[in-house]
Amino acid sequence: MAGLVGLDGRSAIVTGAASGIGRAIARRLADEGMRVGLFDLDEAGAKETASGFASNASVHTVDISDYEAVERAVAACEDALGPTDALVNCAGWDHAAPFLETDPALWRKLVDVNLLGPTNLTRVVLAGMNERGHGRIVSIASDAGRVGSSGESVYAACKGGVIALTKSVAREVARTGITLNCVSPGPTDTPLFANFDASGKLGPALARAIPMRRLGQPEDYPGLVAFLLSDEAAFITGQTISVSGGLTMQG
């Protein structure tokens, strides 16, 4: 079967590649013939993700909220794999609490990881893409950022911020051949969701509310991400596409 046009032989960076959705995306991009830079705090997890395609992988232990560390990791990754054609901002972190029980220390951590992390990666990688006149950026947002979500107000604000950042930068670079889009998951069966749903009651309740009657799985996302990174999506930019079994249906 023919793969998607414009992925084979190109290089991608995937943040959050040690787990969940990022792991599934990294593996799919490698299956499409891409060289993949795996960025995560969890080195062992990232190495485990890369174990099936080690010769086309480069693992970088990095905190995406640290701009200088991101600059160093992108430079090291590009030394190993060549210029970055595609960036997938997938790393994220959440902590469940009603807004009135949260404080500035928690807000800062949420913003550092979920808003400034993708901003750092986008700023560093986009500079080279802009010089080369080609690039694809997909950020994993959240339906929390589109419709709101109880117990994760500041996380949702960050995801709304990522969507707005994506649209704004997409407008700035639209004539260069670089596109930026968001994929917006609904509740998905990963360690992040298990941590959010400590009681285990939220998952089944959400599954009943989702028109397709199940939570998302990491494998629900890589096909759309790969398409948006391909040449076949060259005329799509600044968009946010929900993948949530119909839980949210945006006009």
In the DSSP assignment, the letter for residue 232 is G
Under rule CB under 6 A, residue 16 binds ligand NAD? yes
Q: Do the Cβ atoms of 233 and 210 come closer than 8 Å? A: no
Burial of residue 113 (number of CB atoms within 10 Å: 0-12, 13-18, 19+): buried
Question: Whose Cβ is closer to ligand NAD: residue 15's or residue 179's?
Answer: 15
Cα–Cα distance list, 114 to 8, 119, 187 (Å): 29, 9, 16
Using CB under 6 A, pick the residue from 14, 18, 26, 73 that binds ligand NAD. Answer: 18
Using CB under 6 A, pick the residue from 4, 31, 33, 41 that binds ligand NAD. Answer: 41
Residue nearest to ligand NAD (CB): 20
Using CB under 6 A, pick the residue from 187, 206, 229, 242 that binds ligand NAD. Answer: 187
- In the structure encoding, which two tokens stand for residue 218, read together? 């990491």
Dihedral sign from CA coordinates of 156, 162, 165, 167: negative
Residue among 39, 93, 155, 196 flagged as catalytic: 155
Rounded CA-CA distance 36/13 in Å is 6
- In the structure encoding, which two tokens stand for residue 81, read together? 């794999």
Binding window for ligand NAD (CB under 6 A); candidates: 11-19, 26-34, 71-79, 204-212: 11-19
Rounded CA-CA distance 211/215 in Å is 10
Under rule CB under 6 A, residue 19 binds ligand NAD? yes
Under rule CB under 6 A, residue 87 binds ligand NAD? no
Q: Do the Cβ atoms of 96 and 151 come closer than 8 Å? A: yes
Using CB under 6 A, pick the residue from 30, 34, 38, 90 that binds ligand NAD. Answer: 90
Under rule CB under 6 A, residue 42 binds ligand NAD? yes
Nearest by Cα to 87 from 12, 167, 179 = 12
Catalytic residue at 67? no
The CB-of-232 to ligand NAD minimum distance in angstroms stands at 23
Binding window for ligand NAD (CB under 6 A); candidates: 17-25, 165-173, 206-214, 230-238: 17-25
Site residues for ligand NAD, window 123-182 (CB under 6 A)? Answer: 140, 142
Under rule CB under 6 A, residue 49 binds ligand NAD? no
Binding window for ligand NAD (CB under 6 A); candidates: 40-48, 79-87, 171-179, 202-210: 40-48
Rounded CA-CA distance 145/247 in Å is 14
Dihedral sign from CA coordinates of 43, 44, 48, 54: positive
Binding site for ligand NAD (CB under 6 A): 15-16, 18-22, 40-42, 45, 63-65, 90-93, 113, 117, 140, 142, 185, 187-188, 190-193
Q: Could you give the residue numbers annotated as active site?
A: 155
